[in-house]
Chain A
Amino acid sequence: MSSALTARLRRVRVGTACRIILVLILAVLPLYLDNALLQTGLFSMAAVVGAIGLTILTGAAGQLSLAHAFFLAVGAYSYSYYAGVKDPSGASKAHGLGMPPVLAMILAVATAGVVGLLFSPIAGRLRGIYLGVASLSLVFIGSFIYENARGLTGGFNGRPATEFDLFGFHFGQDNPPLTVLNVVFGRFERLWYLFLALAVLAYIFGVNVLRGRMGRAMQTMRDSEVAAATMGVDIRRTKAGVFALSSMYAGLAGVMVALAFTRVTPDYFILPLSISYLAMVVIGGLGSVGGAALGAVFVTALPTLLSRYSGSLPFVAEPASGGYDAGKISAALFGVAIVFIVIFEPGGLSALGTRITRRFRRSKTEGPATEPKRAMPRSGTVTRTQEDPV
Chain B
Amino acid sequence: MTRFIDLVLNGISLGSVYALIALGFVIVFKATEVVNFAQGSMLVLGGYVTTRAHDHMPFVPALLVGIAATAITALIIERVLIRNARGADVNALAILTIGIDILLITELTRRFGSDVLTIGDPWGNKLVHLGNLSLPQARLAAITVAVVLLTGFFAAFKYSSWGVAMRAGAEDNEAAALMGIRRGRVTATAWMVAGLLAAVAVVFLTAFPSPGLDTGAREIALRAFPAAILGGLDSTGGAVVGGLAIGLAEAMTAGYSVTFLGGSLADVIPYLVMLVILLVRPSGIFGTRELSRV
Q: Which residues of A contact B (CB under 8 A)?
A: 58, 62, 64, 121-122, 125-130, 132-134, 136-137, 140-141, 144-145, 147-150, 225-226, 230, 271, 275, 278-279, 282, 322-324, 328, 331-332, 334-339, 342-343, 346, 376-380, 382-383
| Assembled-state Cα–Cα distance A336/B85 (Å) | 14
Chain B residues 104-141 with CB under 8 Å of chain A are: 106-107, 109-110, 113
Q: Which residue of B98, B107, B290, B294 is within 8 Å of A332 (Cβ)?
A: B107
10 A-B pairs with the lowest CB-CB distances in the bound complex, closest first? A338-B99, A137-B271, A335-B102, A335-B103, A148-B263, A148-B261, A339-B99, A342-B96, A64-B91, A376-B92
Interface string of B249-261 (1 = CB under 8 A from A): 0000000000011
> Taking beta carbons and an 8 Å cutoff, which residues of B are in contact with A?
35, 81, 84-85, 87-96, 98-103, 106-107, 109-110, 113, 222, 225-226, 228-229, 233, 260-263, 267-268, 271-272, 274-275, 278-279, 282-284, 290, 292, 294
Inter-chain contact A275/B275, CB cutoff 8 Å: no
Q: Known: A126-B282, A127-B283, A336-B99. Contact between A144 and B263, CB under 8 A?
A: yes
Contact A122–B92 (Cβ < 8 Å): no
Q: Which residues of A contact B294 (CB under 8 A)?
A: 226, 230
When the two chains form their complex, are residues A128 and B90 in contact, meaning their CB atoms are under 8 A apart?
yes
In the docked arrangement, what's the CA distance between A212 and B93, Å? Answer: 29
B284 to chain A: closest residue by CB: A130
The reply to whether B110 and A322 contact each other, CB–CB distance below 8 Å, is yes
Would you call A378 and B103 a contact (CB within 8 A)? no
Bound together, the chains give a CA A149 to CA B262 distance in angstroms of: 8
Contacts of B102 in A (CB 8 A): 275, 279, 331-332, 334-335, 338
Question: Would you call A144 and B268 a contact (CB within 8 A)?
Answer: yes
Residues of A within 8 A of B271 (CB): 136-137, 140-141
Give the distance in Å from the alpha carbon of A134 to the alpha carbon of B278 in the complex: 8
Cβ contact within 8 Å between A338 and B95:
yes
B90–A129 touching, CB < 8 Å: yes
In the bound complex, residues from chain B placing their C-beta under 8 Å from that of A282 are 95, 99
Q: Shortest distance in angstroms between A190's beta carbon and chain B's nearest beta carbon?
A: 35
Selected from A62, A225, A323, the residue in CB contact (under 8 A) with B91 is: A62
Contacts of A339 in B (CB 8 A): 81, 96, 99-100, 103
Q: Which of B109, B222, B292 contacts A136 (CB 8 A)?
A: B222
Report chain A residues within 8 Å CB of B35.
129, 132-133
With A and B bound together, what is the CA distance between A127 and B98 in angstroms?
19
Distance (whole angstroms) from the CB of A56 to the closest CB of chain B: 14
The B contact surface, by secondary structure, is helix
The smallest beta-carbon distance between A192 and chain B, in angstroms, is: 30
Q: Which residues of A contact B283 (CB under 8 A)?
A: 127, 130
Quick one: which of B95, B278, B279 has the most chain A CB within 10 A?
B95
**B106 engages A332 (CB within 8 Å):** yes
Interchain CB contact (< 8 A) of B278 among A122, A278, A322: A122
Q: Can you name the residue of chain A whose Cβ is closest to the Cβ of B228?
A: A133
Q: Apart from A137-B274, A335-B106, what are 9 other A-B pairs with CB-CB below 8 Å? A: A121-B279, A125-B278, A127-B283, A128-B90, A137-B272, A144-B268, A322-B110, A332-B107, A346-B88
Contacts of B92 in A (CB 8 A): 342, 346, 376
| A378:B95 contact, CB within 8 angstroms | no
Question: Could you tell me the distance in whole angstroms from the C-beta of B177 to the nearest C-beta in chain A?
Answer: 13
Q: Are A134 and B267 in contact (CB under 8 A)?
A: no
Q: Which residue on chain B has the smallest CB distance to residue A124?
A: B282
| Cross-chain contact A125 with B87 (CB below 8 angstroms) | no
Q: Which residues of A contact B225 (CB under 8 A)?
A: 133, 136
Contact assessment for A134 and B99 in the assembled complex, using a CB-CB cutoff below 8 Å: no
Query: A143 CA to B228 CA in the complex, in Å?
Result: 22
Evaluate contact between B222 and A278: CB separation under 8 angstroms: no
- Closest chain-A Cβ to B134's Cβ sits at a distance in Å of 31
**Given the known A-B contacts A130-B233, A148-B261, A322-B110, are A338 and B91 also in contact in the complex, defined by CB atoms under 8 Å?**
no
Set of chain B residues within 8 Å of A137, measured between Cβ atoms = 226, 268, 271-272, 274-275
The answer to whether B292 touches A226, judged by C-beta atoms less than 8 angstroms apart, is yes
CB-contact partner of B292 in A140, A225, A376, under 8 A: A225
CB within 8 Å for A343 and B84 given contacts A225-B292, A322-B110: yes
A382: contacting residue among B85, B87, B106, B263, CB under 8 A: B87
Judging by beta carbons under 8 Å apart, are B229 and A130 in contact? yes
Residue pair A376, B279 in contact (C-beta under 8 Å): no
Check A148/B260 contact, CB under 8 A, given A331-B102, A334-B102.
yes
CA distance A53 to B265 in the complex (A): 31
Q: How many angstroms from the CA of A125 to the CA of B63 in the assembled complex?
A: 42
A contact residues around B84 at 8 Å (CB): 343
C-alpha spacing A143/B263, complex, angstroms: 11
**In the bound complex, do residue A130 and residue B94 qualify as a contact, i.e. CB atoms below 8 Å apart?**
no
Chain A to chain B contacts (Cβ below 8 Å), 5 pairs: A127-B283, A144-B268, A279-B102, A342-B85, A383-B87
Whether A378 and B91, one on each chain, are in contact in the complex, defined by CB atoms closer than 8 angstroms, is no
The answer to whether A331 touches B106 (Cβ under 8 A) is yes
Select from chain A the residue with minimum beta-carbon distance to B84: A343
Q: What separation, in Å, do the CA atoms of A336 and B233 have in the docked complex? A: 27
Q: What is the chain B residue whose CB lies nearest that of A377?
A: B89
Nearest CB of chain B from residue A213's CB, rounded to whole Å: 23
| In-complex Cβ contact of B87 among A122, A226, A323, A379 (8 A) | A379
Cβ of A58 to closest chain B Cβ, rounded Å: 7
Assembly CA distance A244 to B242 (angstroms): 30
